[in-house]
Amino acid sequence: MKKKAEENRIAEIEAHRMEWGDELTQWLIYEGIDASESRVSAVLNHVEIWGIQKVMALIKKQISIGFTYTMVRLSLGKPTSIDNEEITEKWHKFRYIYGVPRQGATNIWFKDGIVTKIKR
């Protein structure tokens, strides 16, 4: 049963080789990633816009300075909370918190929708 499921996972990825390219296709297979998982599929839908390296990072839930809030939401999901929101004529700042503050939460600060700081 597991063998058939793995064959199906690989076949599904291979079906997108022209769209995703050799590097990403091979990486998905090697890493054992299920491309049909909704979060992964949503990220993969942006490969032409964001590029292979960013898509790989987002699938691995690795966020970097310069990523957009859309990238973060697709990669990590809905934050536990959003705070420190400040809106002026010049900018819109806010912070996403994933987890429980002071108990290992990840804090991600945004300015105008772009990640400016990450604290784990």
Where exactly are the structural domains of the chain? Answer: 1-60, 63-120
Going by pLDDT thresholds of 50, 70 and 90, the confidence category of residue 1 is confident
pTM: 0.92
CA–CA dist 39, 56 (Å, integer): 12
pLDDT digits (tens, 9 = 90+) for 42-71: 999 999 999 999 999 999 999 999 999 999
End-to-end CA distance of the chain: 39
CA–CA distances in Å: residue 88 to residues 58, 68, 75, 93, 109: 30, 19, 28, 9, 16
Among the four given CATH numbers 3.30.1450.10, 3.20.190.10, 3.90.1170.50, 3.40.640.10, the one describing domain 63-120: 3.30.1450.10
CA–CA distances in Å: residue 28 to residues 16, 31, 55, 116: 11, 5, 11, 29
Distance of alpha carbon 48 from its chain centroid, rounded? 15
The mean pLDDT value of the chain amounts to 96
